[in-house]
Structure 1
Amino acid sequence: MAISSIQKLTIGFFNVSFLAFLSGCGGGSTMTDNNSNGGGDTGSSINWTQGVFQPSSNFYQQCQVLNEKHWLRSWSNETYLWYDEIIDRDPALTPAVSEYFKLLKTEQITESGANKDNFHSSLPTAQWRAQSQSGVTFGYGFNVKLISPTAPRQGVISYTEPNSPASAQNLARGFEILEIDGVDFINANTQAEVDTLNAGLYPTKVGKSTSFVFKDINTDETREVILNSQTITSRPVTNVKTLADGTVGYFQFNSHNAIAEKPLYDAFNNLKASNVTDLIIDIRYNGGGFLQMASQVAYMIAGPANTNGKIFEKTIFNDQHPTFNPVTGQRLKPVMFTNEFVGFADNPALVVGTPLPTLNLERVYLLTTASTCSASEAIINGLRGADIEVIQIGSGTCGKPYGFYPTDNCDTTYFSIQFTGENNKGFGEYSDGFAPQNTTDNARLPVRIAGCAVADDFSHQLGDPEEAVLKAALGYRDNGSCPAASSIASKQGFAPARFGDTPAVLDTRAGSLAEQNKILPSH
């Protein structure tokens, strides 16, 4: 099956010249100084009239402060999904470009009390390229699940990366954080203390030395270790194995980043060679990434007969752009189930166009938590649209049916929500996430699907058949029944909800937020 041009998109960073149809409403004031010398603000060289926008192309890559802010203002008005909810402010009144960008988003609150848009962020372009292309981030090599971000808080290591400071210290899933740099992780309640916890837990550069005290939840043994942050290259696909006498395939899928494409290809090839009849994918901590990679995963699960001619996701932009993509200028086409190797990475490991392996399954088991987000949720929604049975084991997902194109201007890459999506059946409203049918949570309104609500089990390693979530999936496969519900559909540990004046430990790094979304690359 041939795939459309939008499906063949490969990663890049924009040199976008917006077309005439992006001019916005009613034109704009005359710009008197278009010089781009990398210097400071041009003062009052660009007049601002509320509600009147020049084309963003007038300011693109003109790297003076006022020009950059006017580019952001026009670009947001053209492409932001909720552009009509942005309060239009004079760019000249906000000194910093980064601070002005923070204002270019909706301020509305959802029914569940969270910010409508928690994913408005930016990164230096070089850092974003390293992160998205190579899986490189700053850290210690462990992923933390924040079970409770406010006092009395709880944070537990959910998994570690091989060949990292954490693995060198024999840290593993199930180690609970007690102290960071002498601050009580559980009970700290001043902003200064919580700032220390956040700075230690989420370093933003190489070489940060941080003292941790951990407790092994299985033995209650405590250990103090000093870790030095470094660039960590993640392994997005791990733990590929067969279970239940070889009939069930399993693997852990942590991120839809560029380097995941080849390991995913290999995982499905291995499981196909093993003739598995069922598949369990562990996406508990997969915050998202490339939407087209999600379509590849769904295709490799379901195969050609189950997906032929079906839409994986129809991308929908704001109401100014019903026909053409406001970023690429192309006529809007849905993302189909992608049946070939796309080559997301700068140096693809396989020839682009290599056919993908398939398991040709009509059901799949997905292990989820509140950290399962966006592109991971798109796998659920896309498969359900193609009548593939999705059985969800764990807790409710985060609820993020939105995405964006990372867009570079003046060496900064911006992430601003630009589209939402619908599956082959026209369904796409899951802003409260997906949750197993027996979930006991009345605070949200998740889309309930077949499966079992089971709390994350940190007393066993991921992939262990005795680990509670995986054990429940295997049990459901055997007899269609669930253990007593032990999990709720909650946003805990995922994105900032509204905590009032209580200081919270939260990973609000732009890179983290950017990964937790559906991303379409440039072409």
Structure 2
Amino acid sequence: MKLSKVSTLSRAIAVILAAGIISGCGGSGSSNNNTVTPTTPTTPTTPTTPDEPTWEAGVYEDASNFIARCETPRTGIDPFTGEDYPDTEGSALEEKLWLRSWTNNTYLWYDEVDDNPPENFTVEAYFAQLKTNGVTPTGSAKDNFHFSQPTDEYNTLAQTGVTSSYGFSWEFVSSTPPRQLVVRYTEPGSPAALAVIPRGASLLRVNGIDFVNDNTQAGVDALNDALFPAESGQSSTFDFELADGSVLTETLTSEDIVVSPVQNTKVLDTESGKVGYFQFNTFNRTAQDDLIASFETFIDENITELVIDLRYNGGGLLALASQLSYMIAGPNQTNGMTFETLQFNDKHPDYDPISGNEIQPTPFYQYEIDYNAGVFINTLLPSVSLSKIYVITTDSTCSASEAVINALRGIDVEVVQIGSATCGKPYGFYPTDNCGTTYFTIQFQGVNAKGFGDYADGFIPSSSPNFDFELPGCTVSDDFSAALGDPEEAMLSTALAHSATGSCPAVTVSSTSLLQNNSLGRDDGLSIKRPNELKSSIFLHNKISTPIRQPE
């Protein structure tokens, strides 16, 4: 990254200067004559160290003065870059001052951040409060997307899609007693999938601990450790209540799970024609091949309608979102059009403060990308060239998922929304490493070809939309009584019915105990972890910009 190069250059300059000083001193003991000049003895002095930097309210030094100055520097070779770690000996204060200056330069709402004295915080706590306290028009927090995680964990998941788990995707209905945690789906081939634990199974006990009601710190700590294993090889026993009231007990051992971003690709034969469907869970770089395969299937089957299930897609790479949008709309509708334009804070109206590049609209990417090298491949993506699509959404549909919706509407592709309001994140960031922690702070807002990007409270389905954040569509609750991709599942069934009739049907979801406890959690109860507290799912509420170069 650019800042790392600055740090490397600084170290190189320091070495050169130091070498010059040593050389000058070493030559002072001799001259052109052979006379030795007596010297006056001097009193030895104690070597001095550079002064510790200080915090001064309202005064921000350049972030490059503090980058990679670490309380605990990493040593050796970074396995993900193959280069030496840039870290040098520093202090926790220097880490905090880097965060402060970096935030002041790049954070979208830098002028809404309180400049609190760093000595009152740990590094982690200091970063946590370096954000706006502003709210959206409905009163929600403006920035719900501020987080960090260990760099090695981020690199592993971002580059390989691998994380240690049992293979569950969980629906957090209530994280405080009486708790309810429900299985959304399982990753193919994972321990949870091989044990055939179905969608809708509700967790009762873990290793004999009452998951629903235990309110002791020891019990909650044990639940968190068991539910969210830090490494592979950890075994736990789970008791689930199934839809018919029976109890399923399984002992599972955590593994390094390869996330499958695209699942359940299928073509459904309906009275109105062939409808393509796929479940899309995250915009990570491993998704490209599966998306291409899905769209090649849709082309071969000559689909006339497409349903994209984004209900659990928290976001990811904007470049991949642009590729997906092209595969939907095709060349005629996207040629010369803008997918999205990034807008940074008012300090950077013309240039991207991270890449240094002039701000240019992002087009609809029509070629495959080598994400490891950050370059296009001269292979054209497949496309179905549709002028209308259906998207299934919930409040877990975020960021890059919303960017696809917004971009398509910017070129007048009709997007019919089935489900509930999306999470509302027209914002994004460049993940930035310092001293072994990768930080995510909002740095830009995206707008479509029509200049619209104000959906901080989400896109909302409506039978009579009046605002740009309202989409034609139907409000439907998530249905845990049927598998994802099942035409009888309420959301997909509604999309198919709307496709056939042009209107929303009356939908009745079978009565179960699922999702009935949203309002039952006690404020004073101990809470289990939720994904945004875990840092194990980097793409939760995430929109990542990755500069891509044209092929040479």
Task: Give me the TM-score of the superposition, normalised by structure 2.
Answer: 0.80
Q: C-alpha deviations, 1:111-163, integer Å up to 9, x for none?
A: 54543322222222221111011111121101011233444433211111122
* Cross-structure match for 2:352: 325
Distance 1:71 1:165, change over 3 A: same
DSSP 3-state at the match of 2:479: coil
Query: Which of 172, 181, 186 is 1:155 aligned to?
Result: 181
Question: d(CA) in 1 for partners of 2:103 and 2:288?
Answer: 31
2:193 is the alignment partner of 1:167: yes
- Quick check: 2:154–2:538 contact (8 Å CA) kept in 1? no
- Quick check: 1:396–1:446 contact (8 Å CA) kept in 2? no
How much does 1:173 deviate? 1.2
Question: d(CA) in 1 for partners of 2:415 and 2:5?
Answer: 38
- Quick check: 1:437–1:449 contact (8 Å CA) kept in 2? yes
DSSP 3-state at the match of 1:244: strand
Query: Which of 245, 250, 262 is 2:277 aligned to?
Result: 250
Question: d(CA) in 2 for partners of 1:297 and 1:75?
Answer: 32
Question: d(CA) in 2 for partners of 1:139 and 1:270?
Answer: 31
Query: Which of 60, 81, 103 is 2:67 aligned to?
Result: 60
Q: C-alpha deviations, 1:66-101, integer Å up to 9, x for none?
A: 32222111111110111112111333443x322222
- Quick check: 2:136–2:457 contact (8 Å CA) kept in 1? no
Query: Which of 428, 431, 447 is 2:456 aligned to?
Result: 431
How much does 1:499 deviate? 8.5
- Quick check: 2:282–2:539 contact (8 Å CA) kept in 1? no
- The higher relative CO (CA closer than 8 Å, separation ≥ 6) is in 1
Point out the more displaced range, 115-124 or 509-518.
Answer: 509-518
Question: d(CA) in 2 for partners of 1:486 and 1:449?
Answer: 22
* Cross-structure match for 1:393: 418
The residue identity in structure 1 corresponding to 2:438 is: T
* Cross-structure match for 1:344: 371
* Cross-structure match for 1:309: 336
* Cross-structure match for 2:306: 279
Question: d(CA) in 2 for partners of 1:221 and 1:264?
Answer: 37
Q: C-alpha deviations, 1:457-507, integer Å up to 9, x for none?
A: 1111111111111111111000112133679xxxx99xxxx9954544422
Question: d(CA) in 1 for partners of 2:50 and 2:419?
Answer: 54
- Quick check: 2:106–2:353 contact (8 Å CA) kept in 1? yes
Query: Which of 106, 109, 131 is 2:132 aligned to?
Result: 106
Distance 1:346 1:151, change over 3 A: farther
How much does 1:522 deviate? 5.0
Distance 1:287 1:411, change over 3 A: same
Query: Which of 483, 486, 490 is 1:468 aligned to?
Result: 490
Query: Which of 162, 169, 179 is 1:136 aligned to?
Result: 162
Total equivalences in the alignment: 475
The residue identity in structure 2 corresponding to 1:80 is: Y
- Quick check: 2:389–2:415 contact (8 Å CA) kept in 1? yes
Superposed CA RMSD in Å reads 2.9
Point out the more displaced range, 511-520 or 499-508.
Answer: 499-508
Point out the more displaced range, 421-430 or 500-509.
Answer: 500-509
The residue identity in structure 1 corresponding to 2:186 is: T
Question: d(CA) in 2 for partners of 1:121 and 1:431?
Answer: 18
DSSP 3-state at the match of 1:436: strand
DSSP 3-state at the match of 1:295: helix
Question: d(CA) in 1 for partners of 2:336 and 2:164?
Answer: 42
The residue identity in structure 2 corresponding to 1:327 is: I
* Cross-structure match for 1:15: 4
2:320 is the alignment partner of 1:293: yes
How much does 1:449 deviate? 1.0
- Quick check: 2:142–2:456 contact (8 Å CA) kept in 1? no
Q: C-alpha deviations, 1:161-216, integer Å up to 9, x for none?
A: 12211112221212111223333333445565444444433333333333321012
Question: d(CA) in 1 for partners of 2:341 and 2:212?
Answer: 44
The residue identity in structure 2 corresponding to 1:297 is: L
Task: Give me the TM-score of the superposition, normalised by structure 1.
Answer: 0.84
* Cross-structure match for 1:372: 397
Percent identity over paired residues = 47
* Gaps in structure 2 of 5+ consecutive residues: 8-17, 19-48, 71-89, 510-514
DSSP 3-state at the match of 1:353: strand
2:152 is the alignment partner of 1:126: yes
- Quick check: 2:67–2:434 contact (8 Å CA) kept in 1? yes
Distance 1:126 1:81, change over 3 A: same
Distance 1:43 1:170, change over 3 A: farther
* Cross-structure match for 1:21: none
- Quick check: 1:284–1:369 contact (8 Å CA) kept in 2? yes
2:123 is the alignment partner of 1:97: yes
How much does 1:439 deviate? 10
- Quick check: 1:143–1:157 contact (8 Å CA) kept in 2? yes
Question: d(CA) in 1 for partners of 2:346 and 2:174?
Answer: 38
- After TM superposition, the structure 1 = structure 2 runs for residues 445-460 of structure 1, keeping only pairs within 5 Å, are 447-460=469-482
Distance 1:16 1:416, change over 3 A: farther
2:226 is the alignment partner of 1:204: no
* Gaps in structure 1 of 5+ consecutive residues: 1-11, 19-34, 36-41
The residue identity in structure 2 corresponding to 1:172 is: P
How much does 1:109 deviate? 4.2
Point out the more displaced range, 198-207 or 475-484.
Answer: 198-207
- Quick check: 2:176–2:523 contact (8 Å CA) kept in 1? no
